[in-house]
Amino acid sequence: MSFNPGNTCAGLLILITLLGCDPVVQEYNLSPEEINRVQRVQNPFGNKRYSLPGSPGRYVGLRECKLYRSVQTEGIVVGWEPLVLKSVWITGCVAKVQLEGPWVTVTYCGRVLGLTSTCESYRTTDGEKWYEQSNDEWKLVPGVHSATDSSQLQDSGQQ
Protein backbone atom coordinates (compact mmCIF):
# COMPACT_ATOMS: atom_id res chain seq x y z
CA MET A 1 0.00 0.00 0.00
CA SER A 2 1.48 3.36 -0.99
CA PHE A 3 1.14 6.70 0.78
CA ASN A 4 -1.04 9.22 -1.05
CA PRO A 5 -1.01 12.75 0.47
CA GLY A 6 -4.25 13.66 -1.28
CA ASN A 7 -6.13 10.76 0.30
CA THR A 8 -4.58 11.49 3.69
CA CYS A 9 -5.74 15.14 3.62
CA ALA A 10 -9.22 14.14 2.46
CA GLY A 11 -9.38 11.55 5.22
CA LEU A 12 -8.26 14.10 7.80
CA LEU A 13 -10.96 16.56 6.72
CA ILE A 14 -13.58 13.80 6.90
CA LEU A 15 -12.33 12.89 10.38
CA ILE A 16 -12.56 16.50 11.56
CA THR A 17 -16.08 16.73 10.17
CA LEU A 18 -17.11 13.52 11.92
CA LEU A 19 -15.63 14.75 15.21
CA GLY A 20 -17.96 17.74 15.11
CA CYS A 21 -15.44 20.55 14.90
CA ASP A 22 -16.67 23.94 13.78
CA PRO A 23 -16.42 24.52 10.00
CA VAL A 24 -13.78 27.24 10.45
CA VAL A 25 -11.44 24.69 12.05
CA GLN A 26 -11.70 22.44 8.99
CA GLU A 27 -9.71 25.01 6.96
CA TYR A 28 -6.53 24.14 8.89
CA ASN A 29 -4.24 21.16 8.34
CA LEU A 30 -4.17 19.66 11.85
CA SER A 31 -2.32 16.67 13.23
CA PRO A 32 -4.36 13.95 14.98
CA GLU A 33 -3.18 15.27 18.36
CA GLU A 34 -4.31 18.80 17.44
CA ILE A 35 -7.67 17.48 16.25
CA ASN A 36 -8.13 15.69 19.58
CA ARG A 37 -7.25 18.84 21.55
CA VAL A 38 -9.58 21.03 19.45
CA GLN A 39 -12.41 18.57 19.97
CA ARG A 40 -11.86 18.53 23.76
CA VAL A 41 -11.87 22.33 23.90
CA GLN A 42 -14.90 22.69 21.67
CA ASN A 43 -16.96 20.11 23.53
CA PRO A 44 -15.76 18.81 26.91
CA PHE A 45 -19.39 17.99 27.83
CA GLY A 46 -20.21 15.12 25.46
CA ASN A 47 -23.97 15.03 24.98
CA LYS A 48 -24.50 17.81 27.55
CA ARG A 49 -23.55 20.68 25.22
CA TYR A 50 -26.50 22.69 23.89
CA SER A 51 -26.77 25.24 21.07
CA LEU A 52 -28.22 28.62 21.98
CA PRO A 53 -31.03 29.38 19.49
CA GLY A 54 -30.75 33.15 19.93
CA SER A 55 -26.99 33.16 19.37
CA PRO A 56 -25.95 30.82 16.53
CA GLY A 57 -22.59 29.13 17.11
CA ARG A 58 -22.70 29.71 20.88
CA TYR A 59 -23.28 26.97 23.42
CA VAL A 60 -23.89 26.15 27.06
CA GLY A 61 -22.58 22.99 28.67
CA LEU A 62 -23.44 21.21 31.89
CA ARG A 63 -21.12 19.19 34.13
CA GLU A 64 -21.70 18.16 37.75
CA CYS A 65 -24.40 20.80 38.35
CA LYS A 66 -22.17 23.54 36.96
CA LEU A 67 -23.22 25.48 33.88
CA TYR A 68 -20.70 26.86 31.38
CA ARG A 69 -20.97 29.26 28.44
CA SER A 70 -18.74 28.98 25.37
CA VAL A 71 -16.02 31.55 24.74
CA GLN A 72 -15.28 32.11 21.07
CA THR A 73 -12.70 33.77 18.88
CA GLU A 74 -13.45 34.25 15.18
CA GLY A 75 -16.32 31.77 15.37
CA ILE A 76 -14.28 29.02 17.05
CA VAL A 77 -14.90 27.78 20.59
CA VAL A 78 -11.64 28.46 22.43
CA GLY A 79 -12.79 27.84 26.00
CA TRP A 80 -15.63 27.73 28.48
CA GLU A 81 -16.55 30.11 31.31
CA PRO A 82 -18.51 28.91 34.33
CA LEU A 83 -21.74 30.81 34.99
CA VAL A 84 -23.08 31.80 38.37
CA LEU A 85 -26.88 31.60 38.30
CA LYS A 86 -27.91 30.24 41.69
CA SER A 87 -28.09 32.54 44.67
CA VAL A 88 -28.89 29.67 47.07
CA TRP A 89 -26.24 27.13 47.97
CA ILE A 90 -27.56 23.69 47.04
CA THR A 91 -26.18 20.30 48.13
CA GLY A 92 -27.00 17.00 46.51
CA CYS A 93 -27.68 18.84 43.29
CA VAL A 94 -29.19 17.32 40.16
CA ALA A 95 -29.44 19.47 37.04
CA LYS A 96 -31.09 18.98 33.69
CA VAL A 97 -31.27 21.00 30.51
CA GLN A 98 -34.31 21.13 28.24
CA LEU A 99 -34.71 22.65 24.80
CA GLU A 100 -38.09 24.41 24.65
CA GLY A 101 -38.65 26.25 21.37
CA PRO A 102 -36.26 29.20 21.34
CA TRP A 103 -35.29 28.61 24.98
CA VAL A 104 -32.62 26.57 26.71
CA THR A 105 -33.93 25.87 30.22
CA VAL A 106 -31.72 24.68 33.09
CA THR A 107 -33.36 23.26 36.22
CA TYR A 108 -31.39 22.63 39.41
CA CYS A 109 -32.92 20.49 42.15
CA GLY A 110 -31.37 19.72 45.50
CA ARG A 111 -31.40 20.44 49.18
CA VAL A 112 -30.90 23.90 50.60
CA LEU A 113 -28.28 23.59 53.34
CA GLY A 114 -29.24 19.91 53.70
CA LEU A 115 -32.76 20.68 54.93
CA THR A 116 -35.58 20.91 52.40
CA SER A 117 -35.67 19.98 48.74
CA THR A 118 -36.04 22.77 46.23
CA CYS A 119 -35.77 23.37 42.48
CA GLU A 120 -34.75 26.48 40.56
CA SER A 121 -35.25 26.98 36.82
CA TYR A 122 -33.45 29.42 34.54
CA ARG A 123 -33.71 29.97 30.81
CA THR A 124 -32.00 31.87 28.01
CA THR A 125 -31.93 32.12 24.23
CA ASP A 126 -28.47 33.69 23.93
CA GLY A 127 -26.48 32.80 27.07
CA GLU A 128 -26.27 36.47 28.08
CA LYS A 129 -29.75 37.30 29.43
CA TRP A 130 -31.04 34.72 31.90
CA TYR A 131 -34.55 34.49 33.35
CA GLU A 132 -35.58 32.77 36.59
CA GLN A 133 -38.96 31.15 37.08
CA SER A 134 -40.83 32.67 39.99
CA ASN A 135 -44.53 32.00 40.67
CA ASP A 136 -45.15 30.79 37.09
CA GLU A 137 -43.52 33.93 35.66
CA TRP A 138 -40.06 34.36 34.12
CA LYS A 139 -38.14 37.32 35.53
CA LEU A 140 -34.82 38.67 34.30
CA VAL A 141 -31.98 37.69 36.62
CA PRO A 142 -29.85 40.76 37.33
CA GLY A 143 -26.12 40.32 37.52
CA VAL A 144 -25.66 36.91 35.89
CA HIS A 145 -21.94 36.68 35.50
CA SER A 146 -19.21 34.23 34.83
CA ALA A 147 -17.13 32.86 37.66
CA THR A 148 -13.58 34.15 37.91
CA ASP A 149 -11.71 31.08 36.64
CA SER A 150 -12.64 30.76 32.95
CA SER A 151 -9.64 28.53 32.19
CA GLN A 152 -11.17 25.69 34.18
CA LEU A 153 -12.36 23.75 31.11
CA GLN A 154 -10.08 25.10 28.39
CA ASP A 155 -8.19 21.85 27.87
CA SER A 156 -9.20 19.54 30.66
CA GLY A 157 -9.80 16.61 28.36
CA GLN A 158 -12.57 15.38 30.65
CA GLN A 159 -15.77 14.01 29.18
Band of pLDDT at residue 32, cut at 50, 70 and 90: confident
Q: Domain segments of the chain: what residues? A: 1-42, 46-153
Q: Provide φ and ψ at 46, rounded to 5°.
A: 60, -125
**Reported pTM:** 0.65
- What integer is the mean pLDDT of 148-152? 40
The C-alpha angle with vertex 125 and arms to 81 and 159, in degrees rounded to 5, equals: 40
Pair 71, 32: CB distance under 8 Å: no
| Structure confidence by residue, pLDDT tens digits, 59-109 | 999 888 888 999 888 888 888 998 877 655 567 788 889 998 899 999 988
pLDDT band for position 145 (50/70/90)? low
Q: With residue 78 as reference, give the H or E element that holds it.
A: strand 76-84
Query: Whole-angstrom Cα distance, residue 18 to residue 20?
Result: 5
Q: What pLDDT score does 86 carry?
A: 67
Q: Are strands 59-63 and 66-73 parallel, antiparallel or unpaired?
A: antiparallel
